[in-house]
Amino acid sequence: MNTVYYHECASPIGTLLLVSNGKALTGLYMVDHQDGPQPRADWQRDERKFGVVCDELAAYFGGALHDFSVALEPHGTAFQKQVWNELRRIPYGETISYGELARRIGQPGASRAVGRANGQNPISIIIPCHRVIGADGTLTGYGGGLDRKQRLLELERAPLYSRT
């Protein structure tokens, strides 16, 4: 059985739960994240496994880092992974709509499915699901809460809507 490691890291948007398989980051959640996990008894707390992640998050929140380099291993379906990979292509400081995200993965009629996959993203912030907004430019669903989504977009100085 593979060991699951975790660490809770302070951030300007609240405590973040980091989860790893020892080789790559498998989860990043706000501790009060909608549908987010809670550390289990069989998980091992180990701050040392998360030094690079915490350093990169501190640089991101400080405005000095736009692209993360930590190894990621999100668990999901092939479709979810396709959506999450496309999320990583949204440039820092930009936003797109769910419809645009669906178009970018070659499934223009799948904006609702894309929205569900976006909402199931297990690695918040680094896989920037906060950069996806409604077609009318409004902020829509975010597991960490719309106030955090707004704060992340403000941090990146993103307009509320920059592309369709």
Tell whether 51 and 10 lie within a shared domain: yes
Q: Choose among 3, 31, 8: nearest CA to 18.
A: 8
In terms of residue numbers, what domain contains 46?
A: 5-61
- Alpha carbon of residue 3 to chain centroid: 23
Percent of the chain with pLDDT strictly greater than 90: 73
Residues designated catalytic: 129
What are 39-59's pLDDT values in tens digits?
Answer: 899 999 999 999 999 999 999
Q: Is residue 87 located within the same domain as residue 151? A: yes
Verify that 148 and 96 share a domain, yes or no. yes
Can you give the pTM of this predicted structure? 0.90
CATH number for the domain harbouring residue 114: 1.10.10.10
Q: How far apart are the first and last CA of the chain?
A: 45
